[in-house]
């Protein structure tokens, strides 16, 4: 009977075996680290020799930026492969790394970058002189692609967190967008009383929102020294303070705890079930598409603050483009990464046509981007708001080198407690202990 | 004995037949070759490779070491694995009888010839099986949707509190419903085709003896298709323990209710692709295979025994 299941299982076995097929070869292939970069003459030669490089990315229509690159370097052909989103791409990339047949360039989210640098699968671009580009990018983006002197790739887009709210519903409730988290708690109560809806939703199916809140609050729960030591510190006072704050709001039934970015959530957004959204910079345009019936009613501002005189924020999402360590055309690949993320035409196009929030400072300041008026926000220059927010994100946040596990473990512990509206603190402790157990089992030294 | 046959054969029909037989053998094996190649390459080799892998431990830091049967020992004490097996056992005990009972009921009803538009009814019951499993799960995921799914809206329209069908306590039942909906038709078709193969004379004889439809169904039809029913049971046992795509897809909309180890297969998948622990995943997969083998064997054994008992 259950043919489909068996097929799925067989496919799984097949995928597994493909993934494992190159186990023996993988470790030896990854360790190559060039200490010395290419000379200008070598670069010139590489860029005029007919070459095809493979590029894995899930950015829609990125072919348009590839076209700009190919126009400038006619000898180089970029072969784009979309693996169908971030998660699918990482799985396939890991299989490719084990088999030794890697793409030359890949898009990797900041949060997943250490999971790939730890296996020495990403080429250090410092010898290519990329360290000089530091001042061109938002510090919070640059901090995510470097460890020490090593440069693992160039920042593509960024997701500083701001605050999108329904101006009509806020007016109805007689509240202003809250400036501090203390104000937010009061606003949540007033909002619920006068509209019957929740002021916002804290999702349990993704850890990005709550990590952004921790980022803003100055908590640094994760750390990785680039070698064997990880820091897992989810019981620090800063973390506990944030978690307790939200626990309190949940227990008072002042905020929703629905999973985000699913059908139910889209419906709730367009029906005014949530008055606001702690959205990353990719959120404003995204929301236009999912809640089109609320055009003109939304406004953007920065998130509520712990201390209104010292504005801070955190990132949700954003990715880098990296050159894979096994690339046979590393020079051309590195030049492509550089063009894609620092050439004015390419970055401006990515920002204004594909709506990626740029991590390149020059593009953030570019009027074509910054002064873009969005009808959905009543003609507000939303990008302007987010560019200012991007400057308030601190750059010392770190991710664990096993982000997949950190994320899935969150969903089973703290995330599940949020969704089920049960006590958050025991769940937070459970998350901490699961992460520590996993790290030890994987051979890491754990610091807390 | 063999020599005797051979010598007799040789004396009776010299050469030609043995050449003929050889040609037939060659033909048979050449027809089998494509299957055997794929079977060995896609099933036997990965199986052995997975068995080999399950004897190692690979750490992100520290590399790969041979650990013998440690992964199996770890799995047998792993509450997540054991809970998964327990959950699937519950699934088996509750869902399979319901599904096969309904399938048998529909098969008998259609076979009785008293259903108008029987052909269409048969097709209608079978159609869910033709819908890809992924589509099925996505569709039911929408139907179960918390606030805006049709079921929730129906309850709201009646002024009742809508049950959350994607909550930790209800999700197993929700998945049982999906699987039942999808596979009734498939099992029904197996049973129905077995029913069609029963000689009509038996019914005539029974009718002459004064048996009604129910009596015929109970005393002739069901015993006659016992082997077909046994087949569906074995398939269902295997299918239940291998439950994967339904929880995997529902995880996206209800991660808190499903978790990463809802079924042993989902657990193995997450171990391999989320935890990067391929070796332990291989051990889990092997243990699951043993569990399925044992349960299938027990089911088959008890079925055979009953058959023997029935014959007496």
Instruction: Give B44-55 pLDDT, tens digit per residue.
Output: 999 999 999 999
Q: Give yes or no: residues B49 and B80 share one domain.
A: no
Contacts by A177-184, CB closer than 8 A, 24 or more apart? A177/A276, A177/A299, A177/A301, A177/A304, A178/A304, A179/A304, A179/A305, A179/A308, A180/A304, A180/A305, A180/A306, A180/A307, A180/A308, A181/A245, A181/A304, A181/A305, A181/A306, A183/A304, A184/A304
Residues 12-41 of A with CB under 8 A from B: 12-14, 16-17, 19-20, 23, 27
Is B68 within a domain? Answer: no
Q: Give yes or no: residues B27 and B152 share one domain.
A: no
Interface test with A, best of B41, B48, B52, B60 (most A CBs within 10 A): B60
Short-list B41, B179, B172, CA closest to A5: B179
Whether B264 has its CB under 8 Å from any CB of chain A: the answer is no
pLDDT at site A448 = 73
Domain end (from A370, A386, A402): A370
**What does R_g of chain B's alpha carbons equal in angstroms?**
26
Q: Give yes or no: residues B162 and B294 share one domain.
A: yes
Whether B146 has its CB under 8 Å from any CB of chain A: the answer is yes
Shortest CB distance from B60 goes to which of A2, A262, A401? A401
Domain end (from A334, A349, A370): A370
Q: Give yes or no: residues B117 and B9 share one domain.
A: no
First and final CA of chain A: distance in angstroms?
51
| CA A417/CA A431 separation, integer angstroms | 11
Place of tokens 């869902």: B95
**Cβ count within 10 A of residue B123:** 12
| pLDDT band (50, 70, 90) for residue B239 | very high
- Whether the pLDDT of residue B3 is over 70: the answer is no
**Closest B-chain CA to A89:** B273
Distance from CA of A273 to the nearest CA of B (A): 11
CATH number of residue A331's parent domain: 3.40.190.10
**Cβ count within 10 A of residue B205:** 12
| CA B158/CA A421 separation, integer angstroms | 26
Residues of A in contact with B281 (CB under 8 A): 16
Residues of B in contact with A17 (CB under 8 A): 45-46, 49-50
Whether B50 has its CB under 8 Å from any CB of chain A: the answer is yes
Q: Give yes or no: residues B27 and B145 share one domain.
A: no
Residues of A in contact with B60 (CB under 8 A): 118-119, 401-402, 442-444
Shortest CB distance from B133 goes to which of A4, A27, A408? A4
**Closest B-chain CA to A18:** B46
Is A8 within a domain? Answer: no
**Cα Dmax for chain A:** 69
The 3-class secondary structure across B205-252, one letter per residue, is HHHHCCCCHHHHHHHHHHHHCHHHHHHHHHHHHHHHHCCCHHHHHHHC
Interface test with A, best of B52, B234, B256, B284 (most A CBs within 10 A): B256
What mean pLDDT comes out for the span B207-214? 88
Whether A135 has its CB under 8 Å from any CB of chain B: the answer is no
Residues 58-77 of B with CB under 8 A from A: 59-64
Q: Give yes or no: residues A146 and A130 share one domain.
A: yes
Interface test with A, best of B141, B151, B274 (most A CBs within 10 A): B274
pLDDT at site B15 = 60
| B293 vs A25 pLDDT, higher one | B293
Cα distances from B97 to residues A315, B187, B236, in angstroms, run: 51, 12, 10
Structural domain that includes position B166: 74-311
Q: Give yes or no: residues B113 and B219 share one domain.
A: yes
What mean pLDDT comes out for the span B22-38? 91
Q: Give yes or no: residues A335 and A236 share one domain.
A: no
CB contact under 8 A, A404 and B276: yes
Residues 245-274 of A with CB under 8 A from B: 258-259, 262-264, 267-268, 273
Q: Give yes or no: residues B184 and B291 share one domain.
A: yes
pLDDT at site B230 = 93
The residues facing A180 across adjacent strands are A305
Residues of B in contact with A268 (CB under 8 A): 147
Q: Which residues of chain A have pLDDT under 50?
A: 1-34
Using DSSP's 3-state secondary structure scheme, residue B164 falls into coil
- Whether the pLDDT of residue B119 is over 60: the answer is yes
| Predicted confidence (pLDDT) per residue in B66-111, tens digit | 999 999 999 999 999 999 999 999 999 999 999 999 999 999 999 8
Is A2 within a domain? Answer: no
Domain end (from A370, A392, A412): A370
Shortest CB distance from A408 goes to which of B42, B61, B260? B260
Residues of B in contact with A18 (CB under 8 A): none
Q: Give yes or no: residues A247 and A336 share one domain.
A: no
Report yes or no: A313 and A162 within 8 Å, Cβ to Cβ.
yes
pLDDT at site B60 = 86
Structural domain that includes position A120: 36-158+318-370
Residues of A in contact with B247 (CB under 8 A): none
Shortest CB distance from A443 goes to which of B50, B59, B243? B59
Q: Give yes or no: residues B89 and B42 share one domain.
A: no
| CA B87/CA A303 separation, integer angstroms | 43
Q: Give yes or no: residues A304 and A400 share one domain.
A: yes
Q: Give yes or no: residues B13 and B96 share one domain.
A: no
Shortest CB distance from A444 goes to which of B61, B252, B281? B61
Residues of A in contact with B47 (CB under 8 A): 13
Short-list B162, B255, B247, CA closest to A257: B255
Is B63 within a domain? Answer: no
Q: Domain count for chain A, please give it.
A: 2
Q: Which of A107-116, A196-205, B18-27, B33-42 is predicted with the least confidence, judged by mean pLDDT?
A: B18-27
| B248 vs B24 pLDDT, higher one | B248
Q: Domain count for chain B, please give it.
A: 2
Q: Give yes or no: residues A92 and A119 share one domain.
A: yes
| pLDDT band (50, 70, 90) for residue B14 | low
Q: Give yes or no: residues B99 and B227 share one domain.
A: yes
Q: Give yes or no: residues A45 and A89 share one domain.
A: yes
CB contact under 8 A, B59 and A411: no
CB contact under 8 A, B60 and A118: yes
CB contact under 8 A, B239 and A8: no
Is B58 within a domain? Answer: no
**Could you tell me how many residues make up chain B?**
312
CATH number of residue B247's parent domain: 1.10.3720.10
Whether B170 has its CB under 8 Å from any CB of chain A: the answer is no
Is B60 within a domain? Answer: no
Q: Give yes or no: residues A442 and A305 share one domain.
A: yes
Residues of A in contact with B61 (CB under 8 A): 118, 228, 442-444
Asked if ipTM goes beyond 0.85, one says no
């Amino acid at each position: 009977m259950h043919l489909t299941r068996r097929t799925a299982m067989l496919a799984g076995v097949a995928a597994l075996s493909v993934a494992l097929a190159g186990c023996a070869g993988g470790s030896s292939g990854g360790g190559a680290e060039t200490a010395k970069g290419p000379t200008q003459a070598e670069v010139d030669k590489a860029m005029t020799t007919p070459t095809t490089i493979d590029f894995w990315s899930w950015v829609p229509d990125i072919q348009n930026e590839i076209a700009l690159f190919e126009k400038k370097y006619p000898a180089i052909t970029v072969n784009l492969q979309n693996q169908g989103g971030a998660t699918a791409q990482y799985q396939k990339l890991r299989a490719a790394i084990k088999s030794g047949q890697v793409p030359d360039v890949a898009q990797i989210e900041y949060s997943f970058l250490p999971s790939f640098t730890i296996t020495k699968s990403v080429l250090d671009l410092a010898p290519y002189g990329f360290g000089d580009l530091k001042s061109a990018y938002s510090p919070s983006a640059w901090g995510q692609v470097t460890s020490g002197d090593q440069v693992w790739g160039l920042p593509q887009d960024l997701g500083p967190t701001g605050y999108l709210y329904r101006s009509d519903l806020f007016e109805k409730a007689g509240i202003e967008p809250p400036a501090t988290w203390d104000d937010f708690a009061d606003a949540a109560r007033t909002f619920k009383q006068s509209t019957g809806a929740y002021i916002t939703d804290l999702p349990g199916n993704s850890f990005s929102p709550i990590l952004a809140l921790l980022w803003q609050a100055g908590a640094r729960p994760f750390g990785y020294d680039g070698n064997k030591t990880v820091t897992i510190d989810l019981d620090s006072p800063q973390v506990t303070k944030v978690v307790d704050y939200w626990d309190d709001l949940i227990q008072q039934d002042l905020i929703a705890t629905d999973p985000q970015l699913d059908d139910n959530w889209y419906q709730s957004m367009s029906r005014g079930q949530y008055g606001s959204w702690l959205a990353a910079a990719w959120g404003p345009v995204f929301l236009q598409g999912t809640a089109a019936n609320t055009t003109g009613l939304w406004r953007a501002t920065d998130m509520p603050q712990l201390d209104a005189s010292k504005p801070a924020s955190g990132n949700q999402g954003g990715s880098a483009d990296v050159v894979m360590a096994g690339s046979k055309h590393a020079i051309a690949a590195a030049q492509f990464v550089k063009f894609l993320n620092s050439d004015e035409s390419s970055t401006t196009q990515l920002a204004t046509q594909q709506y990626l929030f740029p991590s390149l400072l020059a593009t953030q300041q570019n009027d074509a981007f910054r002064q873009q008026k969005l009808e959905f926000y009543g003609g507000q220059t939303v990008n302007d708001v987010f560019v200012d927010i991007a400057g308030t994100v601190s750059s010392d946040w770190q991710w664990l080198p096993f982000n997949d596990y950190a994320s899935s473990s969150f969903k089973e512990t703290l995330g599940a407690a949020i969704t089920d509206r049960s006590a958050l603190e025991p769940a937070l402790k459970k998350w901490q202990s699961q992460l520590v157990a996993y790290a030890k089992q994987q051979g890491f030294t754990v610091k807390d | 004995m063999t020599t005797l046959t051979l010598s007799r054969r040789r004396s009776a029909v010299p050469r030609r037949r043995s050449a003929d037989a050889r040609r037939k053998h060659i033909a048979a094996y050449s027809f089998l070759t494509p299957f055997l190649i794929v079977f060995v390459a896609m099933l036997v080799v990965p199986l052995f490779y997975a068995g080999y892998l399950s004897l190692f431990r690979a750490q992100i830091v520290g590399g790969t070491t041979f650990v013998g049967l440690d992964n199996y020992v770890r799995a047998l004490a792993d509450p997540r694995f054991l809970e998964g097996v327990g959950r699937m056992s519950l699934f088996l005990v509750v869902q399979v009888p319901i599904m096969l009972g309904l399938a048998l009921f529909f098969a008998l009803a259609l076979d009785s010839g008293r259903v108008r538009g029987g052909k269409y009814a048969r097709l209608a019951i079978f159609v869910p099986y033709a819908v890809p499993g992924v589509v099925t799960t996505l569709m039911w995921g929408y139907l179960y949707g918390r606030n805006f799914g049709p079921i929730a809206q129906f309850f709201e329209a009646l002024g009742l509190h809508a049950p959350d069908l994607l909550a930790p306590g209800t999700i197993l039942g929700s998945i049982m419903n999906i699987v039942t909906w999808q596979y009734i038709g498939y099992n029904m078709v197996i049973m129905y085709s077995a029913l069609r193969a029963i000689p009509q004379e038996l019914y005539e004889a029974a009718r002459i003896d004064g048996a009604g439809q129910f009596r015929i169904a109970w005393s002739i039809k069901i015993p006659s298709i016992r082997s077909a029913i046994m087949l569906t049971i074995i398939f269902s046992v295997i299918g239940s323990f291998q439950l994967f795509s339904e929880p995997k897809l529902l995880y996206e909309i209800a991660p808190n209710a499903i978790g990463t180890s809802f079924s042993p297969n989902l657990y193995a998948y997450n171990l391999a692709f989320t935890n990067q622990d391929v070796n332990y995943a291989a051990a889990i997969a092997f243990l699951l295979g043993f569990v399925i083998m044992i349960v299938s064997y027990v089911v088959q054994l008890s079925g055979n025994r009953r058959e023997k008992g029935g014959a007496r």
